[in-house]
Structure formats: structure tokens, C-alpha cells
Amino acid sequence: MPGARSEPFAQRACPLGTCDGSGWILGPEDVARPCKCREARLKRGRSKGVASVIPPRYRGVSFDRPPVSDMARDLSTKAAVVDIAAYVDELDERLDAGRGLWLFGDTGTGKTTLAMLISKAALEAGRSVAIYSLPKLLARIRRTYDSEPGGDSYLSFFERLTGVDLLHIDDLGAEKRSDWVLEQLYALINERYEAQRSVLITTNLPHDELEEQIGSRTVSRLSQMCDEVPLFGADRRYGKAA
């Protein structure tokens, strides 16, 4: 039987109202069995140290509110909203199968908004999510090279990135191409491909330009992992306050 509580279980109520918050249920003859809340909490604990917070601009995103509700009525973006809604409806099945989405289209067509809607739904469902724009992700990886002994090493950070249920990379292809960038992206995407873990990406680049920017091997993996969702139409941000 487990002893004293330790993080991530200490001082937290069971979200299912089943256990006493320890992650264990005491049965007959003092035999403990794990509560269903335990796996979700362990996943959140393993993802500690990755960016998993929805940015303030997107925290209120919803199918019932603009801009998504407007996109659902616009013939140029309606099909994309339907695809996103289908993914959210089947969220657990898609994540468990390692299926992701690849949102592509011109600037301002709503790619990031729809991707954040999926990440928000995953977090609300208790799934672990890492959310990064590509430039920030690469900068975060670089910082691990300068970590102090006992700090956040490259290996530990890489393991967290490959271990979360959903890796959300915004603005793929926005970083200057280099051998180092190609190596990092391929290693990360290939590891998630082999482990059957979902990837959610947005990009402004068509296939041929994305291959030129991040490498054909990485694009090939993403093509196998993700269902593609094109977004068309005018820049919805044009003329609006930033």
C-alpha cells in the first residue's frame, strides 16, 4: 500500500470524486488499487516544464463565439471548422491513435485560432499538451545547452516533448533553415511518429516550400501522422487591432 502522498497528488482532491486525492482506492483487506485519476495526474506531472498554457488571446476561444462562429458560416472556412469539430468530438480516440492535424493556409485565415481550440479541449479533457511557436520551441531547446548541473537538460526536455499526449507547434517553417534546425525537428517528429503520439501543426507554407524549409523527411512523417486541413480566404486580422 502506498505511503505518504507525493506530488503530483499532494493536497489535491480527486477530480472524479472517487479517491481521497492520493490517487489510490483502499479496498478489502487493505489492498489498494489505482484510481482512474492517477494516470491523468501522472501525465501532467511528466509534462511539467513544457509550455502548456493557452495564451491569453485564445483562452475564450469557442465554437459558439467569434471568430470561430463566423468561420463556421463562411464558405471559405466552413469545411475547416467542421474538421476541427470532428477532431474535438473524437479527441480521446484521435490522441490514443496518435493522429494529429496539419492546418495550412495564408496569414490570418484562422489556423492558430482553430489549433488553440483543439489544445484547449485536450487540456480540459485532462490530456497533456505542449504548446509552442516554432521559434520559441527552438529557443527553448537551445537554452537547455546552458543549463546548470541538475537543471533542465536537453534529454529531459526532449523526453517531455515526446511524451505529452499532444505536441502543438504553431508557425512551422518560420525559423531560418539550418542543419541544426533540420536535425532538431526531425528527431522530435520522428520520435513522436514512432511512439504514435499526436502532433498539431500550423503553417503558412505549401508542401514544396515546407519541404525546402524543414526537410522532406520531416514533412513525410507529418504527412503520415496528420490529417490536412486547408484554410482559405482573406486575412481576418487585416484592419483589426493587434
The domain locations on the chain are 1-39, 48-231
**pLDDT tens for residues 49-70?**
565 688 999 999 999 999 999 9
Per-residue pLDDT, averaged over 122-133, amounts to: 92
Cell numbers given for 21 = 486525492
Res 210: pLDDT: 94
Average pLDDT over all residues of the chain? 84
Report the distance separating Cα 173 and Cα 182, nearest Å.
10
pLDDT tens profile 98-122: 999 999 998 889 999 999 999 999 9
| Percentage above 90 pLDDT, the chain | 60
Q: What is the pLDDT of residue 8?
A: 41
Grid cell of 32 as nine digits: 489498494
Q: Is the pLDDT of residue 5 over 60?
A: no
Name the 3-class secondary structure at 224: helix
Q: Is pLDDT of 3 > 50?
A: no
Are the C-beta atoms of residues 56 and 134 closer than 8 Å to each other? no
Question: What predicted TM-score, i.e. pTM, was given to this entire model?
Answer: 0.77
The rounded percent of the chain whose pLDDT value lies above 70 is 75
Q: Please state, in angstroms and rounded to a whole number, the distance separating the CA atoms of residues 101 and 84.
A: 9
Query: Where is average pLDDT lowest: 32-46, 142-156, 197-211, 227-241?
Result: 32-46
Q: What is the CATH number of domain 48-231?
A: 3.40.50.300
Q: What share of the chain is helix, strand, coil (3-state, %, to 5)?
A: 45, 15, 40
Q: What values do phi and psi take at 229, rounded to 5?
A: -125, 100
- Asked if 101 and 226 touch (Cβ cutoff 8 Å), the reply is yes
Quick one: which H or E segment has residue 217?
helix 216-225
Q: In three state form, how does the secondary structure of 60-81 look?
A: CCCCCCCCHHHHHHCCCCHHHH
